[in-house]
Structure 1
Amino acid sequence: MELGPVRQRVILALLLLNAGRPVPRARLVDVLWADPPANAVNKVQGYVAALRNVLEPGRRRRGESILRHTGGSYTLDVPRDLLDLSVFDDLLGAAAAAERTAIAGLLRSALELWRGDVLADLGEMLAHLPEVQAVRSRHRQAVLTAATLAEDRADNAVLVPHLTRAAELAPLDEEVHAVLMVALHRCGRRGDALRAYHSVRERLARELGVGPSSRLAEAYQEVVGPDAEPSVPAQLPPDVPRFAGRSMMLKSLSRKLTRSHARPRVVLLAGVAGAGKTALAVRAGHLVAEAFPDGQLFADLGGTGDRPADPNEVLHGFLRALGVPDERIPIALPMRAALFRSLLAHRRILVVLDDVRDVAQVRPLLPGSSSNAVVLTSRSHLAAMDVTDRVDVGVLNAPDAAELLASTLGRPLGNTDGEAAEGLLAACGYLPLAVRIAAGRILLGGHPDIASLARLLSDERARLDELRLGDLAVRSSFMLSYRNLDAQSARAFRLLATAVSPVPSPAAAAMLAVRPNQLARLLEPLVDTHMLTIDAMGRCEFHQLLRVFGRERARAEDGEQELLRAHMRLAGWYLNTLGRRVETSCPVPGISDTAPDQRLQRV
């Protein structure tokens, strides 16, 4: 039967959905046009007249028509047994009133009337209509109810096509997909059930950024069996042997990682190169591992190296560790990040991200659930990042440094070691990396005792040469930070390192030949990476080993004339400042118009 153009078929569909009930002409106009033409009513009348000719060819008397017009509305009268939708609704009503033994049969009979989506030939034109949504809802409920009553393999096999259709209509309906998975599994199609699970899980992650609900997780567990266990990664490196010191910091860090919080706990360990941030993060991770029974993930992001880790590749490794097969891992970074957050949504996992370069590198690697915790280590403060806690990892205090030295040597420090050990630790600047290297040099036998190495380290120019052991070297560690500086900040680092610190900020500006308001921009990268500190009085200070390193770079990269000019500018600033202070404290008649160097001579 030829039912005419699309709008004519839409009118027929709407009348059939409301069979026996009047449909106002104004509603037909609203459904047919977003912006109705001036002759919309005439067009509707023409479509209705054409439908009468199709439905009742040869019938002329209007009063006998099954398509009636009354008071601006149209009503289509169709015997219930001739309309599948009416028969379907009658069977649902019968099932609702039937004994339990008859319900399944009535529901299957109702579902057999379905050969596709309601009004499928009209596509999405009518999908938004409440009548269409109501029919789909009744079909969904009938399918789910029938599935709960399925008793054997054959019953489930009959329902799979209906469940598949319902799942296609509602791609994010976790209840429908869960029931489909179970039905597939119970009729012997376990592989299809697993594919259905991975498909909806990825769709949820991609479109909503959420993980599977408990209902979907239960269905998955039924499919994989009671003995299947989710993948539990344990990627933390081995605990640092002979870890010493920082006991209070470790206790505080453990509390920060395990306390309840409304969002993921993200703790940043920031500090100077060689301060032992990685060792601290790994030790803390092992201490709190039991609080994260679903696993621990670890990645070295290589932030200070030449090739920082690509977060997309890191996520690929994490997803594999969490049990996602390669073929199920998305390609794009946003999709991988969404899937990662989804997988962690209902788990308790600790994520340790070592040597973070910047916020952009680490942001995709953060979970979204409060059940997880993250430890970041970085030489940068990552000031633009919203973390729950920032922990400044500085050098060790004297007792902790002595404990680290003794622990690495494998013996307590004797009375005869006292003064020599103090000198050695002071030369190391109490930097954990330097202390470990120094102890290693002694253990290898290159130096018979602490005192002999302490004497060598007392020579500043030889100090960094001595603080190297295998692939460990204080100089190399500092160089990683230095190479990431821009040219002007690197120059500031070198020149200021040649001065006797601390250097007041105005003196630093004079030495660098920049205006005071330009100084902050030059020093910001140094402060951010802990290569320089500015104290409460605004003075620039260096860790002593960084100052030694900076002087090395100055000798290697700046000519004697450049260093001389810088020191002349610094000396000039001090002379001017001293002159002003002398003049203020004990003014001499006639001195105010005298040049600064002449003032000092006269005073």
Structure 2
Amino acid sequence: MIATQPTPAPVDTTGADPAGDPGWREIEFRILGSVEVVDSTGVVELSASKVRTVLAALLLARGRVVSDSRLAVVLWGDDPPVTAAAQIQTYVSRLRSKLAPDAEIVRQRPGYVLRVAPDRFDLVRFEQLAAHGRDALAEGRPAEAAEALRTALALWRGPALAGVTEYLSDAERPRLEEARLAALGDRIDAELALGQHGRLVVELTGLVAADPLREQLRGQLMLTLYRCGRQADALASYQDYRHLLAEELGIDPGRELQDLHKSILAAEAALTLPATEVRLPVGRVPAEPLPARLPPDVADFTGRDREAAQVVALLRSRADNGGRRLACVIGGMAGLGKTALAIHVGHLLRSSYPDGQIYLDLRGAGPQPADPAGLLATMLRALGVPPPDVPASMTERVQLYQSRLAGRRVLVLLDNAASEQQVRPLLPESPTCAAMVTSRARLAALEGVPLIDLDVLEHVQALELLSKIVGAARVAAEPESAVRIVQLCGHLPLGVRIAGARLTAKPHWRLARLADRLSSQRRRLDELRIGDLEVRASVALSLQGLDDPARRAFRLLALLDAPRFTVWTAAVLLDVTLGTARELLEQLVDARLLDVAQADGASQARYFFHDLVRALALEHAADEETADERYAALDRTFGSRSGPGPQENG
């Protein structure tokens, strides 16, 4: 149950003066409780649950297009009325009249997009505060972490998405509730680090009673009880949990909780000491390990054992490595599980790098990749450098960063890199450290850093992943439908994961039902979306940075209903020279939007789309190319086989 918190007063970030502007209106969007719009006069009346549902769906899309078909699903489920399109237009029209001029709903085929300042959305503020608190806790600032996390949790006014249809709440509320519980767990960790265990006993006892299978809360309660001098109660709580797991799930507690139980049983002195903030002079190596900052390992990690063993072999620190840099790049198209593999390997290597593991998201696939100078500042703070001592210049930051790593055994995970220029300053030079880089780009210009290129899962591996997500019994009951699902997902891990998540969210669905829905190429990308996971959005990020000719090539090449095509075919279709066609194809290959098959004996490379990438390209072709342009491209291709063909441009 969520305790009701006082609603925070709206914060003015616009710089407008309500006293000096009689037309001034501050607006705020809330979904962490009942779905509401609040302005300077109070709550804006939204009149009906379906209007609130459309608003919530647009807000949750974070500036992305929400298709008409998606809106129909969250409004009416699988049985929309014949007047669905007209009703959606009515609901959008009502919202526009309520929100103007502070927010704009734009028609952008195949749906709508809501344009609103992020700081006006309570979920965005919650996520920002929770992330700040999590970072502060990892960096040894528990007081700052506790304050940020308390402020984040105060934004919750009750169960999220109250007042919307069950179709939207069932799909989105579990993810939001999980985020709230994660922030709650971090806040309790911060308060435990501050020695505030005395006032946490009652709260944790209630939380464990409400969610008895949540292991993190159980461990926090055990530690709290022990620090309050109640060792017997802490041990009894563990035994209760162990029996509960055995009866309901047939499993044992996790390794961390078992270790905590042993420490409490042995009354280890370290348990009574709350963590303290560590501030080290510049250049001083800490006597204790640095905080581990890897994200949690993927519980259902599947199908990459060979690649994981390869990365571990490359990065296992050895005294005889000859001073060479220990680093590798994990590359591949969107949705292949590059980050999941890197995080999994990071956890496998923790014992080899006991001085710390640092994770950074370089935001390389987004519109604004992270600045290396800012990333270095984050690294230095993680390595114990107080913020006032972080140098101003890039050169000095690099020098200090490398000096702090010298002689240490630290693992650095640079996730989602954009380019070699972004990565180079962040790679450790010390042979005792190691780095993993994930990127859609191949980053071939990084000297001495091998590339491990991922492909889609093998068929058996994709079925295993689906089975781990939805349960072996459901897959065994409908094996043919399970095969269809993974095939229609193109064996792409992200697609299989989303399909599995949708089936988990719909335990009453047969697998055949989802397989049938995925069989429509026109609807497939709409189906492969749940919560913040979406194949369409993930792949579309790879289009950023392409120029107009390459985007046009991406759209038109998808019209070829053929498993493979040559540069000659592309040149005819695009009406360009062979040299230009070759350059455009290589741009798409570099962006991970096209793949290259083995060249044949005549050294003629053949190109192909992944099925889900082609589905996205066909959507763009339908939206951005006229019917005449599409027909003309196909007519050039299939009507020109006896003609002279395209020419090289030298």
Superposition TM-score tier, normalisation by shorter sequence:
0.5 to 0.7
Greater CA radius of gyration, 1 or 2?
1
Residue equivalent to 1:374: 435
Separation (CA, whole Å) in 2 of partners of 1:447 and 1:480: 34
The yes-or-no answer on 1:242 pairing with 2:300 is: yes
Aligned residues of 2:462 and 2:486 also touching (Cα < 8 A)? yes
Residues 409-448 of structure 1 aligned to structure 2 (within 5 Å)? 409-412=470-473, 414-445=475-506, 448=509
The yes-or-no answer on 1:257 pairing with 2:315 is: yes
Aligned residues of 1:265 and 1:387 also touching (Cα < 8 A)? no
Residues 118-267 of structure 1 aligned to structure 2 (within 5 Å)? 198=282, 201=283, 229-230=287-288, 232-258=290-316, 260=318, 261=321, 262-267=323-328
The yes-or-no answer on 1:458 pairing with 2:519 is: yes
Residues 203-602 of structure 1 aligned to structure 2 (within 5 Å)? 229-230=287-288, 232-258=290-316, 260=318, 261=321, 262-412=323-473, 414-445=475-506, 448-501=509-562, 502-537=564-599, 538-576=605-643
Shift of 1:259: 5.2
Which ranges of 4 or more aligned residues in structure 1 deviate by more than 6 Å?
A: none
Separation (CA, whole Å) in 2 of partners of 1:446 and 1:544: 27
Separation (CA, whole Å) in 2 of partners of 1:576 and 1:427: 37
Can you list the C-alpha shifts for 1:447-471, whole angstroms capped at 9, x where unaligned?
6121110011001000000000011
**In structure 2, do the counterparts of structure 1 residues 429 and 414 end up closer, same or farther at CA, with 3 Å as the change threshold?**
closer
Shift of 1:494: 0.8
Shift of 1:370: 1.0
Shift of 1:530: 1.6
Can you list the C-alpha shifts for 1:371-417, whole angstroms capped at 9, x where unaligned?
11111111111122224321111110001001100111133455432
Aligned residues of 1:294 and 1:349 also touching (Cα < 8 A)? yes
Separation (CA, whole Å) in 1 of partners of 2:448 and 2:529: 35
Counterpart AA for 2:461: D
Residue equivalent to 1:600: none
Would you say how many aligned residue pairs link Structure 1 and Structure 2? 358
Aligned residues of 1:231 and 1:321 also touching (Cα < 8 A)? no
**In structure 2, do the counterparts of structure 1 residues 259 and 412 end up closer, same or farther at CA, with 3 Å as the change threshold?**
farther
Residue equivalent to 1:130: none
Q: Give the TM-score taking structure 2 as reference length.
A: 0.53
Separation (CA, whole Å) in 1 of partners of 2:631 and 2:363: 37
**In structure 2, do the counterparts of structure 1 residues 511 and 435 end up closer, same or farther at CA, with 3 Å as the change threshold?**
same
Shift of 1:333: 1.3
Counterpart AA for 2:353: F
Q: In structure 1, the residue corresponding to 2:486 is in which secondary structure?
A: helix
Q: In structure 2, the residue corresponding to 1:391 is in which secondary structure?
A: strand
Can you list the C-alpha shifts for 1:514-558, whole angstroms capped at 9, x where unaligned?
111112221222111221012223111000000111000110111
Shift of 1:282: 0.3
Q: In structure 1, the residue corresponding to 2:469 is in which secondary structure?
A: helix
Aligned residues of 1:271 and 1:378 also touching (Cα < 8 A)? yes
Aligned residues of 1:301 and 1:356 also touching (Cα < 8 A)? yes
Counterpart AA for 1:417: E
Shift of 1:418: 1.2
Higher helix share: 1
Counterpart AA for 1:545: L
Separation (CA, whole Å) in 1 of partners of 2:406 and 2:616: 46
Aligned residues of 2:317 and 2:352 also touching (Cα < 8 A)? no
Q: In structure 1, the residue corresponding to 2:472 is in which secondary structure?
A: coil
Aligned residues of 1:492 and 1:512 also touching (Cα < 8 A)? yes
Shift of 1:352: 0.3
Shift of 1:576: 4.4
Counterpart AA for 1:236: L
Separation (CA, whole Å) in 1 of partners of 2:625 and 2:287: 62
Aligned residues of 1:503 and 1:541 also touching (Cα < 8 A)? yes
| Structure 2: runs of 5+ lacking an equivalent | 1-278, 600-604, 646-650
Shift of 1:313: 1.1
Separation (CA, whole Å) in 2 of partners of 1:230 and 1:570: 67
Residue equivalent to 1:91: none
Residue equivalent to 1:32: none
Counterpart AA for 1:517: G
Q: In structure 1, the residue corresponding to 2:550 is in which secondary structure?
A: helix
Separation (CA, whole Å) in 1 of partners of 2:335 and 2:365: 12
Superposed CA RMSD in Å reads: 2.0
**In structure 2, do the counterparts of structure 1 residues 573 and 373 end up closer, same or farther at CA, with 3 Å as the change threshold?**
farther
Q: In structure 1, the residue corresponding to 2:437 is in which secondary structure?
A: strand
Counterpart AA for 1:364: P
Aligned residues of 2:316 and 2:352 also touching (Cα < 8 A)? yes
Separation (CA, whole Å) in 1 of partners of 2:508 and 2:639: 45
Separation (CA, whole Å) in 2 of partners of 1:527 and 1:515: 18
Aligned residues of 1:258 and 1:288 also touching (Cα < 8 A)? yes
Q: In structure 2, the residue corresponding to 1:269 is in which secondary structure?
A: strand
| Structure 1: runs of 5+ lacking an equivalent | 1-193, 202-219, 222-227, 579-603
Aligned residues of 2:475 and 2:482 also touching (Cα < 8 A)? no
**In structure 2, do the counterparts of structure 1 residues 467 and 347 end up closer, same or farther at CA, with 3 Å as the change threshold?**
same
Identical residues among aligned pairs (%)? 40
Separation (CA, whole Å) in 1 of partners of 2:553 and 2:425: 34
Aligned residues of 1:268 and 1:390 also touching (Cα < 8 A)? yes
Separation (CA, whole Å) in 2 of partners of 1:359 and 1:573: 42
Aligned residues of 1:297 and 1:351 also touching (Cα < 8 A)? yes
Separation (CA, whole Å) in 1 of partners of 2:324 and 2:401: 16
Shift of 1:565: 1.2
Shift of 1:433: 0.4
Shift of 1:560: 1.0
Separation (CA, whole Å) in 2 of partners of 1:393 and 1:412: 29
Counterpart AA for 1:504: T
Aligned residues of 1:481 and 1:529 also touching (Cα < 8 A)? yes
Residues 31-42 of structure 1 aligned to structure 2 (within 5 Å)? none
Residue equivalent to 1:186: none
